[in-house]
């Protein structure tokens, strides 16, 4: 009996319910099948004959085998019906495992999924109506079916071909309004890309020339080549990095020679060097211009062209990172691009805009570093962080603050010893500025005690205000939170000098400009540290808070003798709570 064509056949829901139990009854090797005997009513057990003769057992065997053969045939038909109806992904894992034993499971189920996928691709150009399932919903459903297909014997190649079909769903021609159907649908790319790469790695490059019957003579090699060609028009689109980059990178590595990633790295490096050399020639010519205005204009133009040219190479470096073994090559390449994007000691570069290059390069370096760290949690870019620090500090002197800021911050996270050292260096520099400001006022006060022009404490307080933004910036760096808090209190202690009136009584004149902003900054830091679970404390936080509170109370007592109040009032209340 063929259940697939019988109109009296039970429902598929019924089939999916009985499949495991039916198989257990047939499979007498399954220990659980003994449960059927143990659960028989005791009356039936008592009425059963105590012993069968050898002759009767021999006569019973052919009949029993015939029943088992019939049951096996029915279950085989049941499995085939489930595969033909495409409901395999809705069954339990145990049921899927049993259906997977069907000799032609992958082909039957693969053809059903293939039919639905190709039907949708043919209709996908129709305008989506309100209430229709989104592209994400549809692809998530297909991916669930393809994931099950990959578990079947000989199902990996089918799963790979169908996954490549899904890549056509999310692609539209560049002549249309958008490269992708909706903004939200782009969220499915990373997951489907990762899934396809995992299948390809299981298949290996030896499967490149294997076909699947439903696709005719087209091999996996041809499908991967098509995917690579579809990506071409998207290279300059902002979302191009989302369109199956890892799959395409792996495909390029397989479709070309083993040294292809290194060759791509070398080609990109040479292009960077050419752009740098051309800009160097332009700068040399600009320096020969006599008119200062024209000279500065030519310098800015040469550096701007260099920045624009290098920005166009960033997507190419991103593609190198997706090649098999290309991650570290791209890591080296994007940093080399950064170093070649400026010249030491060039005149007239202050205020030069590099946003078109720096934002894209910083994003790429950050992405590459995260990928390397995901593969190797012990990744420690201490050397790279030190080089970036030198370059960032130099460009900062020229008014350029956009050079790899997020990547530099990430490097400090992956290299804690460098992060602590870097934060401590900034701490010492700011501390020195505070001491120098107080010393300058103190020296003048010592020389002109009774001069009407002696600077009062407010003058010192005003000079401290200029330092507070740098302290706040330190508080946002890795390992800089508590150091910034220490500096704010240190600034408070150094924001006044002992002053006396002509009768020798302690006094203080004027408004203290540093008190309010320093208090607000300290409150912000304390709140951030209280709310964070990721800040490492060499000294317990509660002990640190108690020390800070004592420092505030000590300074408050000193200023109260001079008639000054408002010293870290909010911070005191927060630390006392």
User: What are the pLDDT digits (tens) for 521-551?
Assistant: 999 999 888 876 656 556 788 888 889 999 9
User: What are the pLDDT digits (tens) for 426-441?
Assistant: 999 999 999 988 888 7
Q: Which of 150, 180, 179, 146 is nearest to 163 (CA)?
A: 146
Cα(279)–Cα(461) distance, rounded to whole angstroms?
A: 47
Write down the pLDDT at residue 172.
52
Cα(542)–Cα(524) distance, rounded to whole angstroms?
A: 17
* Higher per-residue confidence, 409 vs 135: 409
Cα(2)–Cα(26) distance, rounded to whole angstroms?
A: 19
Do residues 220 and 209 touch, judged by C-beta distance below 8 A? yes
Give φ, ψ of 255 to 5 degrees: -75, -10
Q: Which of 513, 531, 419 is nearest to 457 (CA)?
A: 513
3-state secondary structure of 219: strand
3-state secondary structure of 243: coil
Cα(561)–Cα(508) distance, rounded to whole angstroms?
A: 9
Do residues 185 and 134 touch, judged by C-beta distance below 8 A? yes
User: What are the pLDDT digits (tens) for 298-335?
Assistant: 888 888 899 999 999 998 999 899 998 899 999 999 99
Residue found under tokens 């020229």: 398
Q: What is the DSSP letter of 181?
A: S
* Higher per-residue confidence, 256 vs 39: 256
Question: Which of these ranges, 212-226, 268-282, 379-393, has the smallest mean pLDDT?
Answer: 212-226
Cα(156)–Cα(172) distance, rounded to whole angstroms?
A: 27
Distances (CA, A) of 403 to 228, 395, 408: 32, 8, 9
The residue-averaged pLDDT of 216-234 equals 79
Do residues 229 and 238 touch, judged by C-beta distance below 8 A? no
Do residues 400 and 352 touch, judged by C-beta distance below 8 A? yes
User: What are the pLDDT digits (tens) for 444-481?
Assistant: 766 665 555 555 656 677 778 889 999 998 888 878 88
Please count the residues of the chain. 577
* Cβ density class 398-408: b for 16+ within 10 Å, e for less: eebebbbeebb
Burial (CB count within 10 angstroms: exposed 0-12, middle 13-18, buried 19+), residue 454: middle
Question: Which of these ranges, 165-174, 227-236, 316-325, 395-404, has the smallest mean pLDDT?
Answer: 165-174
Do residues 158 and 212 touch, judged by C-beta distance below 8 A? yes
Write down the pLDDT at residue 497.
65
Half-sphere exposure of residue 136: CA atoms within 13 angstroms, side-chain side: 10
Write down the pLDDT at residue 26.
40
Cα(427)–Cα(382) distance, rounded to whole angstroms?
A: 20
Do residues 451 and 439 touch, judged by C-beta distance below 8 A? no
């Amino acid at each position: 009996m063929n259940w697939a064509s019988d109109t009296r056949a039970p429902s598929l829901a019924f089939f999916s319910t009985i499949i495991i139990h039916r198989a257990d009854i047939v499979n007498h090797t399954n220990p659980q099948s003994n449960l059927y005997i143990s659960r028989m009513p005791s009356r039936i057990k008592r009425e059963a004959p105590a012993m069968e003769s050898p002759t009767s057992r021999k006569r019973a065997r052919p009949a029993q085998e015939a029943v088992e053969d019939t049951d096996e045939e029915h279950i085989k038909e049941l499995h085939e019906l489930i595969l033909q109806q495409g409901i395999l992904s809705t069954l339990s894992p145990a049921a899927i495992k049993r259906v997977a034993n069907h000799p032609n499971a992958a082909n039957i189920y693969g053809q059903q999924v293939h039919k639905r996928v190709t039907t949708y691709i043919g209709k996908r150009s129709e305008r989506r109506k309100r209430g229709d399932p989104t592209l994400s919903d549809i692809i998530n459903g297909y991916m669930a079916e393809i994931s099950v297909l990959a578990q079947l014997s000989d199902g990996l190649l089918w799963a790979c071909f169908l996954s490549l079909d899904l890549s056509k769903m999310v692609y539209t021609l560049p002549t249309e309004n958008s490269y992708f159907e909706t903004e939200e649908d782009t969220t499915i790319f990373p997951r489907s890309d990762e899934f396809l790469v995992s299948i390809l790695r299981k298949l290996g490059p030896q499967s490149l020339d294997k076909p699947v019957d439903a696709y005719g003579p087209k091999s996996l090699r041809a499908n991967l080549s098509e995917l690579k060609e579809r990506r071409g028009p998207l290279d300059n689109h902002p979302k191009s990095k989302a369109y199956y980059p890892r799959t395409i990178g792996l495909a390029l590595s397989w479709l070309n020679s083993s040294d292809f990633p290194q060759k791509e790295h070398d080609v990109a490096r040479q292009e960077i060097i050419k752009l740098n050399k051309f800009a160097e020639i332009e700068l040399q010519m600009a320096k020969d211009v006599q008119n200062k205005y024209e000279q500065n204009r030519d310098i800015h133009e040469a550096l701007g062209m260099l920045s624009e040219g290098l920005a166009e190479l960033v997507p190419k470096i991103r593609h190198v990172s997706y090649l098999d073994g290309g991650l570290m090559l791209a890591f080296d390449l994007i940093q080399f691009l950064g170093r070649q994007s400026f010249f030491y000691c060039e005149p007239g570069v202050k205020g030069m805009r590099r946003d078109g290059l720096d934002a894209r390069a910083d994003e790429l370096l950050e992405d590459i570093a995260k990928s390397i760290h995901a593969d190797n949690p012990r990744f420690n870019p201490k050397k790279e962080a030190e080089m970036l620090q030198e370059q960032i500090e130099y460009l900062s002197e020229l008014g350029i603050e956009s050079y790899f800021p997020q990547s530099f911050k990430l490097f400090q996270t992956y290299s804690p010893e460098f992060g602590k050292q870097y934060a401590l260096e900034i701490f010492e520099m700011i501390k020195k500025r505070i001491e120098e400001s107080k010393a300058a006022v103190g020296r003048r006060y010592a020389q002109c005690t009774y001069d009407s022009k002696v600077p009062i404490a407010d003058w010192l307080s005003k000079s401290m205000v200029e330092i507070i933004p740098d302290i706040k910036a330190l508080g946002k760096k890795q390992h800089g939170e508590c150091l910034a808090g220490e500096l704010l209190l240190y600034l408070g202690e150094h924001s006044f000098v002992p002053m006396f009136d002509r009768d020798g009584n302690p006094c203080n004149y004027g408004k203290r400009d540093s008190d309010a902003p320093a208090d607000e900054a300290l409150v912000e830091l304390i709140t951030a540290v209280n709310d964070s679970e990721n800040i490492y404390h060499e000294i317990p936080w509660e002990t640190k808070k108690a020390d800070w509170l004592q420092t505030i109370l000590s300074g408050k007592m000193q200023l109260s003798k001079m008639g000054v109040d408002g010293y870290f009032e909010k911070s005191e209340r927060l630390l006392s709570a």
